[in-house]
């Protein structure tokens, strides 16, 4: 979410713990907060509030009226660094959610679980749900990324799958704990790294 001149991110660490992380203050994040607040005012708000950054780095502000209107305010350049609530030294003071070095498909994702929501259908089609004021519809990917489907199915072999794509094209989903018991809820599932999208087989940019 955006305040007057800074960016905050909520991190649901587990079902019992939530942290609010401040983005590192830079000229870029200050400019971003100002642009978001201006867009909020255009849609009837006093400023501040939620926004999203899609996998192309495009910053999108939804209308406060819930009518489906959205304003594209710009594009981020470079990583936005977030405060690390578990920092023990200057070397790990910041979280970089663009950095997936050393991770392989199926590894636990150790950072905030953030991104645009997509879904994999039971018959392996990738899509998202577009909600407008008086209707909603399913938008399917123009080309099926078989490699991404294969990776998702290696983690969630059956049924429909909800997954996220973060602002840097990193794909995340959740998997049940190994000790899953009957009655486990999604909030107990473990954030898991899948890989990255292939932009050549993905949805087009917002315009």
Q: What is the mean pLDDT of residues 5-11?
A: 80
Residue 188, Cα to own-chain centre: how many angstroms? Answer: 18
Cα–Cα distance list, 137 to 46, 131, 133 (Å): 31, 7, 12
Fill in the DSSP letter of residue 31.
H
pLDDT digits (tens, 9 = 90+) for 114-157: 999 999 999 999 999 987 666 788 999 999 999 999 999 999 99
Signed CA dihedral, 165, 32, 40, 205: sign only: negative
Measured distance CA(107)–CA(57) in Å, rounded: 24
Residue 80, Cα to own-chain centre: how many angstroms? Answer: 13
Measured distance CA(86)–CA(2) in Å, rounded: 23
pLDDT digits (tens, 9 = 90+) for 29-72: 888 888 888 887 777 666 667 888 999 999 988 876 666 678 88
pLDDT digits (tens, 9 = 90+) for 110-122: 999 999 999 999 9
What angle (nearest 5°) sits at the alpha carbon of residue 50, between those of residues 44 and 53?
115
C-beta neighbour count of 78 within 10 angstroms? 10
* pTM of the entire predicted model: 0.87
Three-state DSSP class for residue 90 = helix
Enter the tokens of residue 86. Answer: 């578990």
**Is residue 20's pLDDT more than 70?**
yes
Least confident of 29-33, 135-139, 159-163, 178-182: 178-182
Q: What is the mean pLDDT of residues 171-179?
A: 83
């Amino acid at each position: 979410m955006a305040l007057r001149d800074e960016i905050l991110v909520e991190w649901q660490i587990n079902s019992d713990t939530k942290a609010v992380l401040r983005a590192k203050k830079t000229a870029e994040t200050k400019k971003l907060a100002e642009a978001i607040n201006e867009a909020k005012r255009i849609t009837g708000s006093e400023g501040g509030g939620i926004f999203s950054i899609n996998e192309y780095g495009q910053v999108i502000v939804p209308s406060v009226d819930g009518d489906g209107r959205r304003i594209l305010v710009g594009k981020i350049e470079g990583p936005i660094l977030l405060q690390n609530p578990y920092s023990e030294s200057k070397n790990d003071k910041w979280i970089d959610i663009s950095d997936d070095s050393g991770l392989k498909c199926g590894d636990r994702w150790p950072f905030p679980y953030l991104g645009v929501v997509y879904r994999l259908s039971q018959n392996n089609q990738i899509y998202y749900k577009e909600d407008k004021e008086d209707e909603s519809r399913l938008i399917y990917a123009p080309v099926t990324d078989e490699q991404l489907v294969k990776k998702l199915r290696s983690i969630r072999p059956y049924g429909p799958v909800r997954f996220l794509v973060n602002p840097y094209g990193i794909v995340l989903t959740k998997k049940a704990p190994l000790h899953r018991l009957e009655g486990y809820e999604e909030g107990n599932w473990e954030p898991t790294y899948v890989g990255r999208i292939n932009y050549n087989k993905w949805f087009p940019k917002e315009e």
